[in-house]
Amino acid sequence: MNSQPSYYTESGKVSPSYLVLAILVAIVISMLLGYVYSAATIHIPLIYANVLILLGVSILLGYVALALCKLSRVRNGTVRYVFVLSMGIIVWYVQWSVFAYFYITGELPGLVELGNNLSWAFYGSEQWDALYYYYVEGGFEVGRVHIFELALLPIWIIEFVILLGAPFYWATKYVPQPYSEDYEQWYEKRTLLKEFRVITDSHLTLEKLHTDAVSFLDSLQSTSRAAHAKVHVYHMPRERQQYLLIETVTFEGKDNSRKATPLVHNIAVSNEQARLLIERFDNEKAGFSLF
C-alpha cells in the first residue's frame, strides 16, 4: 500500500428522489418550528425566556436539517449549507407571519389562515403596517427601558443571525461520513470499545495508521483517565477502501462531562486492515450520528 495517507472526500452528488422528499419534509418541519417558536414567544413575553427558546429552536433546527441531509444521502457540502439556511429562513418567515397575524387579530392563526396569509411580505399588506406600528411603538421592556425603533432593530437582527447562524455553524462542523457510490449506501460505523492512548496528527502517525493500523493501535494502551483516543471504523466489506475516524476524548468540569473532538477525519485503510481491526478489538455498531 502507498504510505502516503489518503482520506475520504465527498463525491459532490445528491440522490434527487431522496432530496425532493427531504425538501418537502423540511418545509413542513420548518413551518411547524416557526409556528411553535412564535406561539411560545407570544405566550411567554419574558426576554430571557425568549432567548432560551431562540437558542433551543436554532439548535433543534440545525440537528433536524443535518439529519434530513444524511437521510436523503446528500454528499455535497454546498447543498447541505443551502438546505440548512433555507430551513432557517422558512422558520424565521413563518415566525413573523404568525406574530403579525396575532398582532392584528389578537389570536394565533389556524393552519388555513396561516397558509392564506403567507404571501403578505410581497405586497403592501396590513401585516407590514402592523409590524411597522410595532417597530415604532415597541412591544416589550428590558428592565424599565422601553424598546422601540432603532433600539428594537438590532434585537431583530441578532435574532435572525442566531436563528440561521447556529445551524450553519453546526453544518460547518459536520464531518462527512463515507458513502459508497457503487452500492448507494453509507458505510457501517463500528466503534472499537478499547480506549487508546491519545495520539497526534503528525505525518508519521498518519502514515502508520494508513499502512498498518492494527499494529499501531495495538501498541497504544491508554494510561490516562483524563483523556484517551476513541477509534471508529467505517466498514463496507464489498468496497476496497475503508476509513478510520479517530477522536480525542476528554473529561471536563466538576461533573466530568465527556467531550469528543475529531482528530483524524476518515483516513483510508485497506479492507484487510479494517477487517483485522474489527476482529482484533471488541466493537459495537454505532447508532445514527451526525458528528
Residue 219: DSSP 8-state:
T
- Cβ atoms of 35 and 114 closer than 8 Å: yes
pLDDT the model gives residue 147: 63
- Cβ atoms of 189 and 289 closer than 8 Å: yes
Provide the residue-wise pLDDT of the chain in tens; the chain has 291 residues: 556 889 999 999 999 999 999 999 999 999 999 999 999 998 987 778 889 999 999 999 999 999 999 999 999 999 999 999 999 999 999 999 999 999 899 999 998 898 888 988 888 788 888 888 877 776 665 556 556 556 678 888 999 999 999 999 999 988 889 999 999 999 999 999 988 988 887 888 888 888 889 898 888 876 666 788 899 999 999 999 999 999 988 887 777 778 888 889 999 999 999 999 999 999 999 876 665
Q: Which residues contact 146 (CB under 8 A, 6 or more apart)?
A: 138
CB atoms within 10 A of CB 274: 25
pLDDT the model gives residue 220: 83
Q: Which residue has the cell 389578537?
A: 106
CA R_g for the chain: 24
For 269, phi and psi rounded to 5 degrees?
-135, 165
Burial category of 94 from C-beta neighbours within 10 Å (exposed 0-12, middle 13-18, buried 19 and up): buried
- CA 49 vs CA 37, 40, 55, 106, 125: distances in Å: 12, 9, 10, 21, 30
148: closest CA among 132, 161, 130, 162? 132
Residue 221: DSSP 8-state:
B
pLDDT the model gives residue 145: 56
Sign of CA dihedral 257, 263, 267, 270: negative
- Beta strands 227-235 and 179-180 are unpaired
Alpha-carbon gap, residue 47 to 141, rounded angstroms = 8
- Cβ atoms of 117 and 127 closer than 8 Å: yes
230: closest CA among 259, 202, 271? 259
Sequence-ordered alpha helix ranges (H) in 106-191: 111-116, 126-137, 152-173
Alpha-carbon gap, residue 133 to 197, rounded angstroms = 62
> Mapped to the 3 state alphabet, what secondary structure does 61-80 carry?
HHHHHHHHHHHCCCCCHHHH
* Domain extent listing, the chain: 16-173, 179-285
CB atoms within 10 A of CB 21: 14
pLDDT the model gives residue 1: 54
Residue 255: DSSP 8-state:
T
pLDDT the model gives residue 14: 96
